[in-house]
Amino acid sequence: MSTATFSTLRTQFAGLPIADLARQFGTPTYLYDAKVIAEKVADLAAFDVVRYAQKACSNLAILDRVRRAGALVDAVSAGEIRRALAAGYQPEEIVYTADIFDAAALELAVEHKLHVNCGSPEMIDQLGDVRPGADVTLRVNPGFGHGHSQKTNTGGPQSKHGIWHDQVDDCLRRADQYGITVTGLHMHIGSGTDLEHLAQVCEAMERIAQVVGRTLTTISAGGGLPVPYRSTETYVNIEDYFRLWDATRNRLAESFGHALRLEIEPGRYLAAEAGCLVAEVRAVKKMGDNLFFLVDAGFNDLARPVMYGAYHPIAIAPRDGATDRPEVDAVVGGPLCESGDIFTQKEGGYVDSRRLPIARVGDYLLLENAGAYGFVMASNYNSKTRPAEVLIEDGEAKLIRRRETFEDLIRGEIIPE
């Protein structure tokens, strides 16, 4: 099993000098390495379909590169459907996966005849009313779940996601009323979980697939593949994971007498390690015994630490290119008027410190493994403009989203007479 390695002092990202990138595009900026995305898609080539859960990182340029790497796409909202189409996906390459239809999503799903993955029984009726005879997938909650945090656990009785496992029969009857055929079965128990928990899904899938029966042509393992965020963590063994699912699929194929397509639906796995957030160090100050590095990026730019107590590898990129700096314990925080605006915190909001090279004002700081659930969760809190996004490809840095401006910030606001 290979472990991840992170260095706390870095001068380059994707082969380019970090200080140059920061000067060229300003800070804070998300940087993505196109090569990593392509490699991650290729890692999963054993699966018949790699379906990118674009909510992890949905910039059009990223979707385009994921598409060119051969992955299909998942959309969880009307906006994501339109993003997929705008990035060049054909309607038959898009699956709409959600627990409800809002009006806009239902309209698009009907207009483009999208395949729908139903996460609530009502979606079957609502689709059946306007598109009788459609094929659908059922997203089933197997009765258990697991995630890197309670907030990313998407199975079990406390989760709002999916159709409860003992209601599959009822859903089949609903589908019958509209001539709808259940051709797919899908389970996604959580994000950033572990292989032990993911493996339990295979058993549940097999059992529930037998309830649905021979109309099934596709099973989806969902997402949830973890990536290492610390040097002590290891990569999951994709081969072992595939083998478990392949065996499940083969037993079902034998039982049904026809082939079944095996899908996987990663978000984090494809995007997390491809991206980092680069910020500039603006203050280095002591508060009692704590040393704070304050940077120009906050939880408005990267929300995972404050939302989940998530750990991101941090590196200092000295402005002067120095490759040797003494280390200190530092707390890393942002500019927001909110005491929780701390990148080095544990779940529950407890401030933690990190062993880092001593930073100086004007140095750059990298929050690594930030490609997934990074920019997409950025907000305008404190009237901060959202950061720029830059894709690095073949040694060339290309702007893929310009930094927001004040005009972007107030667009749509109205002062009544």
Judged by the rule CB under 6 A, the positions of this chain that interact with ligand PLP are 53, 55-56, 74, 97, 188, 191-192, 222-225, 265-269, 372
Type and span of the H or E element at 270:
helix 268-271
Q: Which is nearer to ligand PLP, 126 or 191 (CB)?
A: 191
How are beta strands 12-13 and 16-17 bridged, if at all? antiparallel
CB of 18 to ligand PLP, least distance (A): 26
Q: Which is nearer to ligand PLP, 74 or 296 (CB)?
A: 74
Catalytic residue among 118, 171, 276, 337: 337
Q: Which tokens in the block code for residue 129?
A: 């009313």
> Using CA atoms, how far apart are residues 185 and 168, in angstroms rounded to an integer?
10
Q: Which is nearer to ligand PLP, 117 or 300 (CB)?
A: 117
Q: Which is nearer to ligand PLP, 58 or 248 (CB)?
A: 58
* Contact of 263 with 3, CB cutoff 8 Å: no
Angle at 79 between CA 156 and CA 130, to 5 degrees: 80
CB of 56 to ligand PLP, least distance (A): 5
Q: Which tokens in the block code for residue 316?
A: 């200092």
CB of 220 to ligand PLP, least distance (A): 8
Q: Would you call 118 a catalytic residue per the annotation?
A: no
CB of 107 to ligand PLP, least distance (A): 21
CB of 266 to ligand PLP, least distance (A): 4
Check residue 204 and report its DSSP letter. H
> Using CA atoms, how far apart are residues 284 and 94, in angstroms rounded to an integer?
47
Q: How far is CA 325 from CA 10, 90, 330, 356, in A?
A: 11, 51, 14, 9
- Name 402's Cβ contacts closer than 8 Å, sequence gap at least 6: 388
Of 195, 188, 123, nearest in space to 156 by CA: 188
Active site residues: 337
